[in-house]
A and B are shown apart, each in its own frame.
Chain A
Amino acid sequence: MSDIARPARRLPRIPPVPLAILVGVVLGGLLVLVSGGNPVEAYAAIVTGALAFDNLPNTLNWAVPLVGMTLVAATPLRGGMINLGGDGQMVIGGLVAALVPLYLPGPGPLLIIVAILAAMLASGLYATIAAWGETRHGIPMLISSLLLSYPAIGICSYIVGFPLRDTTTGLAQTPMIPEAARLPVLSGPLNAGLLVMMVVAILVVLYDRFTVGGYELRMRGLNARFAGYGGVPLARQMTGVMFASGAIAGLVGALIVLGSQFRFQDGALLSPGYTWSGLMAALLAGGEPLGAILAGAFFAALQTGGFAMQRETSIPRVLTMVLQSIIILFLAIRHGVGRRRETR
C-alpha cells in the first residue's frame, strides 16, 4: 500500500473541509460571474435563505430526509460497502407507509407506528437482496443495489398509477391518508419526523462508537480480509448492514409521506435527489456517522438556500448541486477522501 504519510508541503494550513468549501464557493462564484450573475448577491441569498431565523424551520425540514439518506449511505460505507439503491428503498418505504393507514383500520397513533415499522421492514428486506447477491453469487453490491432500484421505482409507480390510484385526481398518486394517521405537527413546517430522525441519528452514532457490532463494522472498513480472519462473519454482517441501511431509507420515505405529503405521489420522493446528496455527504465524511450527519445538514442548508437564491436572483438553484459536487471532487482528489477503502 502506497498511501502512507504524504509529505506536508501545502503552505497555508487550512483544514481540508473548509478549504474544499472555499474552492467550491470560488469556482461556483466564477460560474455565476461568467453566466452574467452577481456571485455576492447569490451567496448572500443562499446564506439568508438557509440560516435566517424565519427560514431555519424550512432548513431543518429539508434536513430530515437528507440526513436520513446520509445515514443510509454512511452505515454501509463505514464498513467499506456502498449502497446505491437508496432511491428504490425509499420509494418502497413511502408506498408501504401510505398504504397501511389507507387500508388498515385502527386508531391513528397505532397506524403511524405500524406504517413506519412496515415501511422499514419492507425496504430493509428489499435492500438485503443486493447483499444476498454479493454473498451468495459474488455480484458486486455496488451495481446490483443500483439496478434493483429501477424495478422498485417502476413497480411502485405502476401501483399508484393503476390499481391503487386516487381516481378523483388526474395524477398518479394514492388518496390522502386519514388525518389521524399523520405525524403530529411541532410548529410550522416541522413535524414529529424531526424527532424520529434525531433519535435514529443518535442511535447510529452510539452503535458506531460503543457496540461490538460498530467496532466490527469499522474494522471491516479498515481491512475487510483482516476482519474476516479476526472472526467477523462477513456475509452475515453485510446482510445486516444492508437491512439497516434499507430500513433507514424506508423510514425516510415513510416520514415524508406521513409527515408532509400525506399521500404517495409518483416521483415526488425522488425529484429532490436526497439519495445522491446523502451519498455525497457520507462520502465526504468517509462514512463516520457524526461527520456525515453534519455534512448532510450542511448540504440541506445549501439546498434550502438555493431555493431562496432562485427566488431572489433568478440564478437557478442547481448551482448548489454544482457546489456540492465541486466540494466532494476537491476532497476526493486533493485529500484522498475514500482512499482508505480497498479499491484494488
Chain B
Amino acid sequence: MLDFITPFLVNSAVQAITPILLAALAGTLCGRVGVFNMALEGQMLVGAFAAVVGSYATGSALGGIVAAMLATVAFSLILAYGVTVFRGDAVVICVGMNLLASGLTAYLLRQMFGVSGTFSDPAIVGLEKIRIAAINGWPVIGWIFSRQTALTWVAWILVAVVTVVMFRTPLGLRLRGVGEDPEAAETMGVDVTRYRIVTVLVAGAIVGLAGAQLSLGTVSIFSEDMSAGRGWIAVVAVMLGRNHPLYAALACVLFGFADAFSVRLQGQGLPNQVTDVVPYVVTLVALVLTHTKRRRRQDPTITASP
C-alpha cells in the first residue's frame, strides 16, 4: 500500500508542498485578522514572474527572491488598502487581483522578453539545493531534509514562527483579536486598520517566497499561469486548517502526498488526465470529512468567510 513512498517521490513531494505551504501560511495570517484572502493564486503568479525577472537581471537567485517579495508586497497593497481603508468586498477584489496577475504577467512576458507561453534562459539562476552530507544517505530523513532549497527550510521554520507568534505572544493575541472582534480590539486601543494592512503585506511577502520557489525551485522558468491552481489549494488548506498554521500545514502535507501518489499512479500506466484529478478529489473528501463532524448549527446562508 505504501510502496509508492520512494526516495525520489518523498523528496519531490516535499518540494511540491513548499509553495503551497508558504501561500497557506500567508492565508492563515490574513484569515486571523479577518481578511479572507482568495488572491493567493494571483499573488503567487506575480511572485513567480518577479523572481524570474530578478534572477535574470541580477544573475543571482537571491536577487530573484528579493524581487519576488517586493513585487508581491506591492501587488498586495490592492488587497491591504482595498478591504480596509476603502472597505471593498474581499471576494471581488481577490477575483480582480487574480485576473490582473494573470493578464499582467502574460503581457509583461511578451513585452519584456518577446515570448509567449514559457520563458527560459540560461541567465536565470535557480535556487540551490542544500545538500546535507551527514544525513544525505539516510532513509526517509535524508530524503526529506537533504537536497531541498533554502525556501523549503524557510517555509517550515516560518510555520513554527507564525504558530508561536500567533498563540504565544502579545502581538499574536492582538492579531487574533483584530480578526475575532474588531470592535473590542479597537476599544482596547489596537489600531485594527493598521494591523490588517501590515499583516496582509507581510503575508504578501511570504507568498512572494512561494512564487520564487515555484519558478526558481525545481525549474528555472516562468510560464503563463504556472501557479496552476496551487493558490486555490492553499485557500482550501487555510479553510481545512481553520486559520491555524499547523493544521493548514498538515492539509498541505496531505495534498503533497496525494500529488506524489498521483504521479506514482501515472507511472503505473494511468493517463495523467485521471491522475491529475487525485489531489483535488482528496481535498474534496477532506472537506467533506472535516465538515460532516462539526456540522454548522446555523442556516447555510453565509457563503464566504470561514
Residues of chain A having any CB pair with chain B under 8 Å? 2-3, 31, 35-37, 80-82, 133-135, 137-144, 146-148, 150-151, 154-155, 157-158, 161-162, 220, 224-225, 228, 234-235, 238, 276, 279-280, 283, 316, 318-322, 324-326, 328-329, 332-334, 336-339, 341-344
Give CA–CA (A245, B200) in the complex, Å.
Answer: 33
By the criterion CB–CB under 8 Å, are B274 and A319 in contact? no
Q: Which of B78, B107, B108, B295 neighbours the largest number of chain A CB atoms within 10 Å of its CB?
A: B107
Interface residues of B (CB under 8 A from A): 34, 36, 78, 81-82, 86-93, 95-100, 102-104, 106-108, 110-112, 116, 229, 232, 235-236, 239, 271, 273-274, 276-277, 280-281, 283-284, 287-288, 291-292, 295-296, 299-306
Q: Which of A2, A143, A339 contacts B239 (CB 8 A)?
A: A143
Contacts of B281 in A (CB 8 A): 151
Contact yes or no, B283 A147, CB < 8 A: yes
A279-B92 Cα distance, complex, nearest whole Å: 10
Determine the chain B residues whose CB is within 8 A of the CB of A320 once the complex forms.
103
Which of B110, B236, B303 contacts A318 (CB under 8 A)?
Answer: B110
- Interface residues of B: mostly helix, strand, loop or mixed? helix
A37, B108: Cα distance in complex, Å: 12
Partner of A224, one of B97, B273, B299: B299
Q: Is the CB of A329 within 8 A of B91?
A: no
Contact between chains at B103 and A321 (CB < 8 Å): yes
* Minimum distance in angstroms from A105 CB to a CB of chain B: 29
CB pair A154 B283 closer than 8 Å: no
Contact yes or no, A339 B88, CB < 8 A: yes
In the bound complex, do residue A332 and residue B93 qualify as a contact, i.e. CB atoms below 8 Å apart? Answer: yes
A147 touches B103 (CB 8 A): no
Q: CA separation between A80 and B305, bound complex, in Å?
A: 13
On chain B, the residues within 8 Å of A235 by CB distance are: 300
CA distance A220 to B90 in the complex (A): 20
What residues of chain B lie closer than 8 Å to A138, measured between beta carbons? Answer: 291, 295-296, 300
Q: Are A329 and B97 in contact (CB under 8 A)?
A: yes
Q: Are B82 and A234 in contact (CB under 8 A)?
A: no
